[in-house]
C-alpha cells in the first residue's frame, strides 16, 4: 500500500522518560502514511530530524514543502537546534527532504553506508551507471554499530536489512526508530519484495529489534490505519510487540511468518512514487541536474516491473 486512508496531519509528543531518554515527536504525513520524527535531548535541546518528507504529487509531478515546514515549525516552537538530518534508508514511497533541510538548518545529512549497494542495484535498473554517488551526496554514511551523539545523548546504528539492502535503525536511549521493519502491533510487519529486499533478512532484523529492552519505545516508519482504527499510530514498546504483534509476537515460527509475508507481498503493487523517489533519494534528496532548458527530468523504466 502506498497511500493512506488517514487524511489528517497529526503531531504527537512522546516525552523523555528520564536521564538518557530523548523527547520524540512524531509528525504524520497522510499522503504516504509516513511518520517523520524529531528526536531531541531534553537538556541541550539538540535534535535529529528523521525521515522527513519532501511532498510529491504523483499526478502532476510537482513538489511542495508543507511537511518539511511543519517539522521545522515544531523545531522552532520547542526551542530546538537541528544537529542531524537522518534517514533510515532510501525510501520507495516518499521523497526525502534531506538536502532541503541541510540548506535550511546547516545540519549534516546521514544514512547507512550500505546505501552504496542500493545505489549500484538501482543504477542498473535505471541504466544510469554514473548517476548515484552516496559519498558525494550525503555528509556521513553510518557503519553498522557506529555511535554518535544527539546533544548529550548517545545514539547507535543497527543494520536492519530486509526491506532494503541497507536499512538501518537508530537507537537513542529508550527510543528506537525502526523504519520499514515493523508496523504497529495490530498491523504486523513491512514488505520485503522490493529489489534487494529479503524476507529472511527482514525476520532477522525484526528479531534483533525485539531483543532490545522491553520498555524500549519503537517508532515505526508507516501507518495506514485498519478497518477498526481510523487514527494513525506509530509508537509501541518492545514488550507490546512481543505480546501482541499479529505477525511476530512471541511464539511465532519463522517459517510461518515468511509464508505470511511472502503471500502478502505478492499482492502488493509498487508504490506510486517509487520510480521517481529512488532516483532523487539516491542523490540525497536532490533532483537530477537541470538540462539546457532549465528543467530536471526523471528516467522511468517501462515494462520492467
Residues 43-85: tens digit of each pLDDT: 999 999 999 999 999 999 999 999 999 999 999 999 999 999 9
Question: Which alpha helices (DSSP H) does the chain contain, by range?
Answer: 66-77, 98-105, 115-126, 134-137, 199-210, 238-244, 254-265, 274-281
Residue 1 pLDDT exceeds 50: no
Tell me the domain boundaries of the chain.
Answer: 11-281
According to CATH, the topology of domain 11-281 is: Metallo-beta-lactamase; Chain A (3.60.15)
Arithmetic mean of pLDDT, 87-111: 97
Q: What is the dihedral of CA 219, 108, 148, 82, to 10 degrees?
A: -60
Instruction: Report which of 61, 7, 50, 33 is spatially closest to residue 279, judged by C-alpha positions.
Output: 61
The confidence band for 97, taking pLDDT boundaries of 50, 70 and 90, is: very high
CA distances from 163 to 71, 77, 175, 296 (A): 25, 34, 21, 29
pLDDT single digits (tens) 262-278 = 999 999 999 999 999 99
Q: Contact 247/257 with Cβ under 8 angstroms?
A: yes
The mean predicted confidence, pLDDT, of the chain is 96
d(CA 144, CA 86): 15
Q: Smallest Cα–Cα separation from 84: which of 122, 39, 21?
A: 39
- Residue 4 has a pLDDT of 59
**Percentage with pLDDT > 90 across the chain:** 95
Kindly tell me if the per-residue pLDDT of 2 is higher than 50: no
Share of the chain above pLDDT 70, in %: 98
Please state, in angstroms and as integers, the Cα–Cα distance from residue 66 to each residue in 29, 30, 53, 130, 173, following that order. Answer: 10, 12, 9, 32, 30
The whole-number average pLDDT for the span 1-24 is 84
What does the alpha-carbon distance between residue 264 and residue 256 come to, in Å, rounded to a whole number? 12
Provide mean pLDDT across the span 9-14: 96
If phi > 0 it is left, if psi is from -120 to 50 it is alpha, else beta; for residue 76 that is alpha
Whole-structure pTM value: 0.96
| pLDDT of 180 over the 70 cut | yes
Confidence at residue 305, expressed as pLDDT on a 0 to 100 scale: 87
Nearest to 148 by CA among 278, 50, 257, 272: 50
Over the stretch 224-239, which tens digit does the pLDDT of each residue have?
A: 989 889 899 999 999 9
pLDDT at residue 101 above 80? yes
Q: Which residue has the cell 551523539?
A: 149
Once rounded to an integer, what is the mean pLDDT over residues 150-160? 98
Q: Quick check: helix, strand or coil at residue 10?
A: coil
Amino acid 130: pLDDT: 93
Amino acid at each position: 500500500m502506498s497511500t493512506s486512508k488517514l487524511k489528517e496531519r497529526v503531531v504527537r509528543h512522546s516525552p523523555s522518560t528520564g536521564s538518557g531518554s530523548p523527547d520524540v515527536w512524531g509528525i504524520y504525513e497522510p499522503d504516504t502514511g509516513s511518520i517523520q520524527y524529531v528526536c531531541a535531548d531534553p537538556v541541550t535541546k539538540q535534535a535529529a530530524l528523521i525521515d522527513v518528507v519532501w511532498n510529491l504529487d504523483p499526478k502532476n509531478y510537482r513538489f511542495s514543502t508543507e511537511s518539511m515546514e511543519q517539522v521545522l515549525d515544531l523545531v522552532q516552537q520547542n526551542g530546538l537546534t537541528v544537529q542531524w538530518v537522518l534517514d533510515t534508508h532510501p525510501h520507495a514511497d516518499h521523497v526525502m527532504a534531506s538536502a532541503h533541510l541541510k540548506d535550511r538548518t546547516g545540519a549534516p545529512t546521514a544514512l547507512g553506508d550500505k546505501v552504496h549497494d542500493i545505489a549500484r542495484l538501482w543504477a542498473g535498473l535505471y541504466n544510469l551507471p554514473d548517476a548515484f554517488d552516496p559519498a558525494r551526496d550525503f555528509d556521513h554514511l553510518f557503519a553498522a554499530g557506529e555511535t554518535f551523539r544527539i546533544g548529550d545523548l548517545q545514539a547507535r546504528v543497527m543494520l536492519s536489512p530486509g526491506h532494503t539492502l541497507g536499512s538501518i535503525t537508530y537507537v537513542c536511549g529508550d527510543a528506537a526508530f525502526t523504519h520499514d521493519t515493523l508496523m504497529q502491533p495490530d498491523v504486523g510487519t513491512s514488505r520485503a519484495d522490493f529489489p534487494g529486499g529479503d524476507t529472511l533478512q527482514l525476520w532477522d532484523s525484526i528479531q534483533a529489534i525485539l531483543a532490545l529492552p522491553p520498555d524500549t519505545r519503537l517508532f515505526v516508519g508507516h501507518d495506514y490505519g485498519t478497518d477498526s482504527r481510523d487514527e494513525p499510530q506509530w509508537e509501541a514498546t518492545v514488550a507490546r510487540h512481543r505480546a501482541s504483534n499479529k505477525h511476530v509476537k512471541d511464539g511465532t515460527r519463522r517459517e510461518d511468518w515468511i509464508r505470511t509475508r511472502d503471500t502478502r507481498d505478492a499482492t502488493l503493487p509498487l508504490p506510486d512514487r517509487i520510480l521517481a523517489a529512488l532516483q532523487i533519494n539516491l542523490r540525497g534528496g536532490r533532483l537530477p541536474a537541470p538540462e539546457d532548458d532549465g528543467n530536471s527530468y526523471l528516467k522511468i523504466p517501462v515494462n520492467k516491473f
